[in-house]
Amino acid sequence: MKYERFEDLPVWQLAADLAVSVFEWTQQPSFRGKGDLAADSRLDQQSAKF
């Protein structure tokens, strides 16, 4: 299969879905607390996208 754009790659689409899931997950009040793990996780998932 030939892909016209890198965004069409299945792995890219899965990574984008994962990024959305992580963001939604970190919005939950139970995720907030010591060390602000939510902010760290958002930075990690953003850096995974080039």
Helix count and strand count (H, E) for the chain: 2, 0
- Listed as own residue / partner, the contacts of 38-46 with beta carbons closer than 8 Å and 24 or more positions apart are 45/18, 45/19, 46/19
- Tens digits of per-residue pLDDT, 7-21? 999 999 999 999 999
Of residues 1 and 7, more confidence is placed in 7
Q: What is the mean pLDDT of the chain?
A: 80
